[in-house]
């Protein structure tokens, strides 16, 4: 029962969609296990660009069952809009399944997300304002509403009454906003979404296990990334779920023994959106070049991503906490024009060389990167499809990065297209 997890090893936007899509060729099922439509997966298929937020990348293959697992938070309006967008472009979405246990994002979650951010002022997190945090908070407070609740009109309205008796107090008394009418909201959600969502609702846990027991390959697709993980990321500048590989267990209903391959994805440099510490961040022309050449603007929000050199200290930590078996490097071609390229191999903190990610976050804020600087390859890599196509300086860069992170690099992406990658090692 082969199961693979794909996980981002930085702060997101590593290009997971590309490799998820590539691996999907051999898969029967692709499962999202956390996050919501804060994610943005861009895939380029036959020159056509697809930007997915909620639906697993595997949807582009007709023989794959795309599954939205119980750990995901689902905005039903967004889900239906994304399905319609795909259908308009000729993609069949009839195989899509959604866990009845996944929690719903309601409009008041998005309102609260924006209000919390405004309230935090300078201390704001830079969330995507998609309602992710408030929806997961309600889930933890046992005030959440699940997808399956939509199946019973009375239960749905009753649950909205319960949660809104609390949330309306917050909206009106804390934020001075109008209360939400639970009956009107229930009517709107059910009238606009139920017909479209009902056929998708599935017992995804048994579906996944039946597939694994039949020996089929299942891919678990992490959204966001290791350092946005609620427990292991740069808290509080994180998302509200567990994108790390272990999150696939509660988020999809499998045990750790089911997972036999864990592929980490790292860019050849790093970006981050939103606030939070970032030791190798660049504020110079090199950073601007990364952003320009790499088109580093949010798929969802259009925000400019903060750029920096690749950080092997963080990647070594990501290897540990995800049990990564291998790494894929994306966007190597973005560095094609650089005269020199850098890998952060350690930090200097208060005059000391530190090779492990500091446990105390204040140390991370003060960490200065220690770089290994290498000559660039200054050659266009976008046509490279095998390791032997790479110039010696690119090979050296990958070998040193591999040595630094301590696990094999197996795949290297050299452009956005489906064919622009090579097997390494």
CB of 297 to ligand IMP, least distance (A): 11
Site for ligand IMP (CB under 6 A): which residue of 7, 13, 180, 245? 13
CA atoms within 13 A on the CB side of 31: 34
130 binding ligand IMP? (CB under 6 A): yes
226 binding ligand IMP? (CB under 6 A): no
Number of residues near ligand IMP (by CB under 6 A): 21
120 binding ligand IMP? (CB under 6 A): no
Q: Which of residues 346-385 bind ligand IMP (CB under 6 A)?
A: none
Toward ligand IMP, which CB reaches closer, 49 or 399? 49
Q: Is the peptide bond before 236 cis (omega within 30 degrees of 0)?
A: yes
Tokens 């560095």, residue? 335
Task: Give the Cα separation of 149 and 193 in Å (integer).
Answer: 13
Residue pair 164/182 in contact by the 8 Å Cβ criterion: yes
Mark the segment that binds ligand IMP (CB under 6 A) among 23-31, 180-188, 220-228, 366-374: 220-228
Residue pair 15/265 in contact by the 8 Å Cβ criterion: yes
Mark the segment that binds ligand IMP (CB under 6 A) among 148-156, 194-202, 221-229, 403-411: 221-229
**Per-residue binding letters, 244-273, with ligand IMP (x by CB under 6 A):** -----------------------------x
327 binding ligand IMP? (CB under 6 A): no
CB atoms within 10 A of CB 229: 26
240 binding ligand IMP? (CB under 6 A): yes
Active-site residue set = 13, 41
39 binding ligand IMP? (CB under 6 A): yes
38 binding ligand IMP? (CB under 6 A): yes
Residue pair 407/323 in contact by the 8 Å Cβ criterion: no
Mark the segment that binds ligand IMP (CB under 6 A) among 77-85, 122-130, 314-322, 393-401: 122-130
Residue pair 7/322 in contact by the 8 Å Cβ criterion: yes
Q: Is 163 helix (H, G, I), strand (E, B) or coil?
A: helix
Residue pair 21/91 in contact by the 8 Å Cβ criterion: no
Residue with nearest beta carbon to ligand IMP: 274
CB of 186 to ligand IMP, least distance (A): 25
125 binding ligand IMP? (CB under 6 A): yes
DSSP 331-357: -GGGGTT-SEEEEEEEEEETTEEE-S-
Residue pair 77/192 in contact by the 8 Å Cβ criterion: yes
Mark the segment that binds ligand IMP (CB under 6 A) among 92-100, 181-189, 236-244, 259-267: 236-244
CB atoms within 10 A of CB 307: 26
What is the chain's alpha carbon radius of gyration, rounded to the nearest angstrom?
Answer: 22
Residue pair 407/319 in contact by the 8 Å Cβ criterion: yes
In the complex, the residues that contact ligand IMP under the rule CB under 6 A are 11-13, 38-40, 125-128, 130, 132-133, 223-224, 228, 237, 239-240, 273-274
């Amino acid at each position: 029962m082969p199961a693979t997890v794909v996980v981002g090893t930085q702060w997101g936007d590593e290009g997971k969609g590309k490799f998820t899509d590539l691996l999907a060729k051999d898969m029967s099922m692709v499962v999202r296990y956390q996050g919501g439509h804060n994610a943005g997966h861009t895939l380029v298929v036959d020159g056509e660009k697809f930007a997915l937020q909620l639906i697993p990348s595997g949807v582009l293959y007709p023989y794959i069952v795309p599954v939205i697992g119980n750990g995901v938070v689902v905005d039903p309006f967004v889900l239906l809009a994304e399905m319609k967008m795909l259908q308009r472009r000729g993609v069949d979405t009839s195989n899509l399944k959604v866990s009845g246990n996944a929690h719903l994002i309601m409009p008041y979650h998005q309102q609260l997300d924006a209000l919390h951010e405004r309230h935090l002022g300078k201390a704001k997190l830079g969330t995507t304002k998609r309602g992710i945090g408030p929806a997961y908070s309600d889930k933890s407070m046992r005030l959440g509403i699940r997808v399956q609740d939509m199946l019973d009109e009375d239960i749905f309205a009753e649950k909205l009454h319960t949660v809104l008796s609390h949330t309306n107090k917050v909206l009106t008394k804390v934020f001075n906003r109008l209360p939400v009418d639970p009956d009107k909201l229930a009517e709107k959600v059910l009238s606009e979404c139920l017909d479209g969502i009902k056929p998708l609702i599935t017992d995804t846990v048994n579906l996944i296990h039946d597939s694994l027991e039949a020996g089929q390959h299942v891919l678990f697709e992490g959204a966001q990334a290791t350092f946005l993980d609620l427990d292991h990321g740069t808290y509080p500048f994180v998302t509200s779920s567990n994108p790390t590989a272990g999150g696939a267990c509660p988020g999809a209903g499998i045990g750790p023994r089911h997972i036999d391959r864990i592929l980490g994805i790292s860019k050849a440099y790093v970006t981050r959106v939103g606030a939070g510490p970032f030791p190798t961040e660049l504020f110079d022309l090199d950073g601007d070049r990364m952003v320009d050449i790499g088109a580093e603007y949010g798929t969802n929000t259009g925000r400019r991503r903060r750029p920096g050199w690749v950080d092997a200290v963080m990647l070594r930590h990501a290897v540990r906490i995800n049990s990564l078996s291998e790494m894929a490097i994306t966007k190597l071609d973005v560095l094609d024009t650089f005269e020199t390229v850098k890998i952060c191999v350690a930090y200097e903190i208060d005059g000391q060389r530190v090779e492990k990610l500091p446990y105390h976050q204040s140390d991370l804020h003060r960490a200065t990167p220690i770089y290994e600087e290498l000559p660039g390859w200054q050659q266009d890599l976008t046509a490279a499809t095998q390791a032997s196509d790479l110039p010696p300086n690119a090979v050296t860069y990958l070998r040193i990065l591999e040595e630094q992170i301590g696990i094999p690099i197996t795949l290297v992406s050299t452009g956005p297209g489906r064919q622009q990658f090579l097997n390494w090692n």
